[in-house]
Structure 1
Amino acid sequence: MSLGYLFGGGVGTEPHGLELYRTYEVVRAWYEQVSAWTGLTVGQILEDDLPTAQEERQSVGTVREAALAIGVHEVLASFDLRPAAIGGLSLGAMTASCLAGSLGRRELFELLAGSRDVPEPPADEPPQGIAIAFGPAADGTPSHPGADTPGVYLAGDFGPTADGTQRIMMLAGRAEALGALAAEVPPGTVVPLPGRTIAVHTPLRRPYRDFMAPRIDAIPFADPAIPLLSCLEPKVLRTAADVRDLFQRNSTDPISLVDVYTGMREQGVRLGLVMGPSIPEGILAFPFPVVHVERPEHIEQALTTAYELGIDLTGTPALP
């Protein structure tokens, strides 16, 4: 029985990591390093209000989220916790790739910080948006509200809820189409998220993908040192080419938490540690126990749970 690390996606719009930063010297040193690589102050990474410009806001938010996730990893590594498999969603897939040894930490954070240079959308571009949707908790390809609605895309599948009554998905696309869909379906079936103005994991992010492609191509990717689960299809990423393909497609292709945790289960994972706050606690079903780690008290909980379950912690030494 082995340990898996799960990294969520999303953007750190709220202050994250303050308790860990104040408690652990290794986290403080880590944030200083991220600051040096990105040109952001530690305050900007930890807790300051995000910029208002869309792409710059997205960039700083991803730095915040990834910095916390790797900060959690640093603390766990100091207690000799070693994952046997690793994976994540969206930004989390990129962070997991870094910790699997496929690219350096500096390369990851320079890429995230550099995405602030992506041109803002034209003023006459129709607004984009994101919504959470609820559908039947069936196996296989998820059935989502608005499947035939122009301008609405299935952007993410988070799988069944913990009680097994429904499936949670993320829709993205044109804000007007999402709003109209929410008004057509039963109340609470589709819930547009306020302030989310980027249709992530849809073809509408093609301009971002094209702008970032040369920067991704310039990264010297390496083969992952441990099994790295894809969030874009049911697959273990084993080569540098696999990881490069993930980075290139990540912004425009739909993601699946189900693919990640199913793959981990097949790799022998029997305890998952969820790094940071971006995967909500207690809402989703997992095929193994999970511990969410984002504050100091969660570190002891993770250690205790691992020992109680008899988890093999010899996965691989923590990677630089």
Structure 2
Amino acid sequence: MNPAPSVIIFTVFSGMGFGYLALLATVHDYSGIAAFWHWFVGYALATIGLAASAFHLGNPSRAWRAFTQWRSSWLSREAWGAVLALLALAPVALSDWLHLGLPRGFGWPGAVLAVATVAASGMIYASIRAVPRWHHWTVPVLFVAFACAGGSLLAGLRGPSLVALLVLGGLMVLYWRVGDGAFSRAGSTMGTATGLGTLGGVSVFEPAHTADNYLLREMIYAVGRRHAAKLRVLALLLAVVLPLLAMLLLPGRYGPYVAVPLHLLGALAQRWLFFAEAEHVVGLYYGKR
């Protein structure tokens, strides 16, 4: 799949933002101007990510239609979850800022909605059978793990950050191991794609067309195995290993200052690979798989 920058920014920033907002609503208890800036960062990350997603649409002015298909579309459920989470968290944010004293228990519904929104983002991809690498439970769990790790680092919670990073590292490796054999396990071949497999071996004689088209641009993207392996190591180092060491070795508040940008770079690298390595079955029609 074509790793479009808008979708990469959307999934990474919104996930970190919603993870941070969930922690602000339930664990942290800032007040005054400090609360304003912490909540501002969380809302900014979440809304920047959601705004970036609109630029990936063919016609961004019709983005509102995403809210109409919540019965069948994970994209629609994600949109509703995001709006409801931001609205549900607003009273807690205002209470912290204006010293209104609202109990932290009021933040739990919004926190649950925030986590559910991130899970729905992952389910958008996990529900696509035509991309076997994504069609697995590890995808939404990985999205939530990134949100938890990023949110914990932003919140400066040393213990939860260490646990979240270790879990995230294990899930990243598991996702890659499961995904590498997913296309072959799905049993899709050029014969099954064309329906001619019962007649014998099927191969492409000539491409269906000579000009570029949407399918070739968006659904068929190849990244070399050597490059993918290097990027996996880089993503794991930046997203997990180096932030873990920063939180362990650097004193006080300096750990998050180093760990957060490193983790963000690693999350961007992992999400680029998430799309670049995804093999869509439509590539079989062009002899690309």
Q: TM-score by structure 2 length? A: 0.31
Q: TM-score by structure 1 length? A: 0.29
Higher helix share: 2
